[in-house]
Chains A and B, each alone.
Chain A
Amino acid sequence: MASGVKPRVKVPKKASVGETITIKTLISHKMESGQRKDDDGNIIPRSIINRFTADFNGQNVVDVTLEPAISTNPYFQFEAVVPESGEFKFTWYDDDGSVYDTSKKITVG
């Protein structure tokens, strides 16, 4: 597992029924591109997060495939519709097989 991986997400705590809300997510990860070389000229192996998903109550919002061209500490901003109260689940998939996730509750009323 890559060290120091920490997901952070920003989701409003409340919304009205069917409202479109903005979500911001960031995960600290070095996103080693596989293009860089170390001091001895050896290629540093690729080690990135290759997939990110956001779901609400089990329904998908967005599913992103990441390539090495995504910057260090991958950041995404996007919009979601919230039909009811519930929980967003955010999941990041690492090249090394690690899976990181975090959840945020939102109250609709």
Chain B
Amino acid sequence: LASLSSLPAFASLTDDAIATLTGGADLGEGAITLTAPEIAENGNTVPIEFDAPGAAEVTLFADGNPVPSVATFKFGPLSGSRSASTRIRLAGTQNVVAIAKMEDGSFQMAKANVKVTIGGCGG
């Protein structure tokens, strides 16, 4: 989590995006788990997984990317669990943040730091 303070500009972009999403509501923790590798050799394809029982929507952010938004998952009536896996790009070592909008309208957050050996945004 130390990298949050070393990347102030990017972190605030992500904070802004999260504030827009939640409307400034409090972020709880514990009801969502985010699984990411501690070290990713290739930032072009980093496997990410989340599980958020009771979530209606989950949004992923990468706070060190040029654009922090990664994806939003909206779960429908035939969703079997409020979990999913995907593969994302990370420009460098940074935090991946998952925000879940729960069915009761509250928000939950989980964070995972990923050390990236080769960046994945090709800039």
Contacts and interface: CB of A to CB of B under 8 A. Distances in A.
A60 interface: yes
Interface string A49-73: 0000001100111111111111110
Most buried by B among A21, A56, A71, A79: A71
B86 A74 contact: yes
Nearest to B45: A71
Contacts of B121: 33, 35-36, 69
Nearest to B75: A62
Nearest to B42: A71
Contact of A70 (B66, B70, B81): B70
Q: Chain B interface: which size bin?
A: 20 to 34
Contacts of B12: none
A103 interface: no
Interface of A is mostly: strand
Contact of A75 (B70, B72, B75, B87): B87
Contacts of A35: 66, 121-123
Nearest to A34: B67
A80 B79 contact: yes
A68 B67 CA distance: 8
A53 to B, nearest CB: 9
A28 interface: no
Nearest to A58: B78
Contacts of B77: 59-60
A45 interface: no
Interface string A17-45: 00011100000000001011100000000
Given A36-B122, A62-B75, A69 B80 contact: no
Interface of A: 20-22, 33, 35-37, 55-56, 59-72, 74-83
Top 10 nearest A-B pairs (CB, nearest first) are A60-B76, A79-B80, A20-B80, A36-B122, A77-B85, A71-B87, A69-B70, A65-B72, A78-B84, A71-B45
